[in-house]
Amino acid sequence: MTARSSEGLSQDAFLGGRLRLWQPVSGYRAGVDPVLLAAAVPARTGEHVLDLGCGAGAAMLCLAARVPGLVLAGVERQAEYAALARRNAEDAGQQAEIDEACLTRLPPALTARSFDHVIANPPYFHAAAGAAAPDPGRAAARGEETPLAAWVEIAARRLRPRGYLHLIQRAERVPELLSVAGARLGSLELLPLAARDGRAPDLVILRARKGGKAPFRLHAPLILHEGAVHLRDGDSYRPWAQAVLRDAAPLPWPQVR
């Protein structure tokens, strides 16, 4: 829900109101995708987390709301979103180092660091595929300019040995994602996310580990909504999804047996 607005911004509630984020009224606005991404990360207090392309900070701040005491860093190339991420972190009582930089030209202070977790919600679509969004911020968030391979390569460089990458992406880009991730990381797991029973997954979350040796795992899809179709007003999230989106619960990642 939107609590209040000012200067072309709205302050929106996430995690059942546990977190409130300033976002542009017109432009890229975080939805459930970064919340689901954050819920997939098995972070522990004291660990270091880097959010690549952090936008206004939704993913890393949702993660920090669930796991206290994380050391947060973010990279965002759009100045206005980097500023919002700093503001949102301060409002949430979180210390976070936000760098305004392109992924391919990270500041030296950041390239000198390594992280237990890297998270990323890269643009879903190739910039040349279809018409660009009229708002520059939304266009940059949705249309890929830095190749997906570069996102994975940069994440791998910043991970500590045995560190985890979690990345959310469109299902149709799975072949590309597995190819680039498999070249740099190991222990790949792919968790599809489908809106309803009987529908093909729209999104996937990739989990990969630096130096991991486990075989590839393709998990059964998680279904977000009850029923095969939407029948009434209001949301119809399944209990696990309600717990993640409203109560800051961890995503029920399937256990490897």
Residues 215-254 as b/e (b if ≥16 CB within 10 A, e otherwise) read eeeebebbbbbeeeeeeeeeebbeebbebbbbebbbbebe
Percent of the chain with pLDDT over 90: 83
Residues 105-132 as b/e (b if ≥16 CB within 10 A, e otherwise) read ebeeebeeeebbbbbbbbbbeeeeeeee
CA distance 165 to 115: 10
Q: Does domain 31-247 have CATH number 3.40.50.150?
A: yes
Res 7: pLDDT: 80
Residue 188 has pLDDT above 70, yes or no: yes
H helices of 52-135, in order, are 58-66, 79-91, 108-111
Mean pLDDT of 141-170: 91
Residue 4 has pLDDT above 70, yes or no: no
pLDDT, tens digit (0-9, with 9 covering 90-100), for 199-254 = 999 999 999 999 999 999 999 999 999 987 665 656 799 999 999 999 999 999 99
Res 6: pLDDT: 73
Mean pLDDT of 164-172: 98
84 — pLDDT class (breaks 50, 70, 90) = very high
Residue 195 has pLDDT above 80, yes or no: yes
The residue that leads in pLDDT, 129 or 252, is 252
pLDDT, tens digit (0-9, with 9 covering 90-100), for 29-68 = 999 999 999 999 999 999 999 999 999 999 999 999 999 9
129 — pLDDT class (breaks 50, 70, 90) = low
Mean pLDDT of 6-20: 94
255 — pLDDT class (breaks 50, 70, 90) = confident
Residue 83 has pLDDT above 80, yes or no: yes
Q: Which amino acid is at 52?
A: L
Res 139: pLDDT: 47
Residue 135 has pLDDT above 60, yes or no: no
